[in-house]
Structure 1
Amino acid sequence: MAALRNLAIGVLKVTGAVNIAKTTRAIQDLPERALPFFGIGHEPDLPGT
């Protein structure tokens, strides 16, 4: 688990996150915010599809 945590912190640092604690709290509240850090786009599902 420590290795995964360190990987996540490393990704945040490389992508330019200034405040790691604030960024991780924001991601914790809405996990889809983490997708752009890994090069994955997020398109919310449209109702009825």
Structure 2
Amino acid sequence: MDVILVVLLVVFLVVFVLKTVFKIAFRMALLVGVALLVLYYLGRMPFSL
């Protein structure tokens, strides 16, 4: 029984860490995408801010 509990705990921790990492990575990708879009539109404009 102890082995099963340890395995479940490890699986739970791994899933939790992966979810957190993916959430952070998704936010970073979103920020980078927005920044690139803003730079792209600013670069297309005839005047510079």
TM-score, normalization by structure 2: 0.33
Larger radius of gyration: 2
TM-score, normalization by structure 1: 0.33
